[in-house]
Amino acid sequence: MTNILKALSICALALPALMLATPAKAEMTGDQIKAAVSGKTMDFAGKYNGVMNFGADGSASMTLKVGIKKTGKWFIKGNEFCSQWDGEGEQCGTWTDAGGKYTTSNGYTMTPQ
């Protein structure tokens, strides 16, 4: 019984240190997303894979790994990143900082080049 209590005590003491070592990931604000993408190029992976260029003026271009190229625009709406590719509807979603890359609520991983 005392061994179990000792083990529980050690775990209770170690838990706060482990929580500090692995901070919770939080959704990014609109300003944080804007700072992360404006004027940058990122690889993206998810349902589709390729490279996106985010112009500081809100312009955007994308090249899919299969060779298809698209142009459009990007913008921030509240705390969501939105894009609209030529001939397509607007799509918005949240982003999370995953330490050196970003994950989106739309199922993509964005990695800065």
How confident is the model over 11-49, as pLDDT tens digits?
444 444 444 444 557 899 999 999 999 999 999 999 999
| In-domain check, residue 16 | no
Contact yes or no for 94/27 (Cβ under 8 A): yes
Which helix (H) or strand (E) element contains residue 83?
Answer: strand 80-85
Backbone angles phi, psi at 111, to 5 degrees: -120, 115
State the total domains in the chain: 1
Q: Tell me the residue range of the domain where 64 lies.
A: 26-112
Q: Say if residue 10's pLDDT is above 80.
A: no
Taking residues 70-95, report their average pLDDT. 97
Cβ neighbours for 51, distance < 8 A, ≥ 6 positions apart: 41, 42, 43, 44, 62, 63, 113
CATH number at residue 44: 2.40.128
pTM of the model: 0.76
Percent of the chain with pLDDT over 90: 76
Residue showing tokens 């993408």: 37
